[in-house]
Structure 1
Amino acid sequence: MFPSSPNIRITLLKITSMRDAIGNKGYQLISKKEVLGISKSVTSKEYYESKKNEYKVDVALKIQSFLYDGSKYATIDDVIYQIERTYLTGQFLELYLMETKIKRDEINGYT
């Protein structure tokens, strides 16, 4: 496989938090979109910068910028990540993801 070829499948998620009738917190899926991306390493500079800003970057990847729809969450292999930061680099958009505690079955409408 070539270094800049797509090698990771992610699903961009737009979800909103909500409360049920008795006050339990839940999530509602607004939309999802499957895209291919290019996995990249989290550099030591990015790691220390994220620690300084009190979040931990777990995954870094690039997707073509026109594919991004403003989603704040993404899934990779059934793990849900929050998109902490985006950075535009020409035709690509770098996404920096932090793992969440949200489980797939906690999201209403996610099949």
Structure 2
Amino acid sequence: MQQAIKNDFTNLQFATPRAVQDVTGIDKSAFERLLLLADFSVTFSGVFNPAANMSHAVFSTISSTSVTRLVTLVVSSKTLAPNCLLTDYALTRATGGAFTFSVPGVLADGQVPTWS
């Protein structure tokens, strides 16, 4: 079941890096590299929301399940939708009383993250 929980987010970071391999021969004066595997990582940050069908309902099961989750990001009508493993649901209560969360995720299934 998909749930739109973007209202609870105050910050979002994601990256689509590629690994590289150094293949520089001793006859070179600069690096030569090959592109290797693609990856994806994401971190959601936001305000704790215990309401039904909101962020807490989605993230509270991270510690007790090992399910792959479809993460759909839409930016200016372009969509990136990798399957991710969400690895933590860290909650923080600041001295001023703000109650926030941070949820990191990583690529789960070996499929290259591709914008559509």
Same fold (TM over 0.5): no
More strand as a share of residues: 1
TM-score by length of 1: 0.42
Q: Give the number of the structure whose residues are more often helix, by fraction.
A: 1
TM-score of the two chains, using structure 2 as the length reference: 0.40
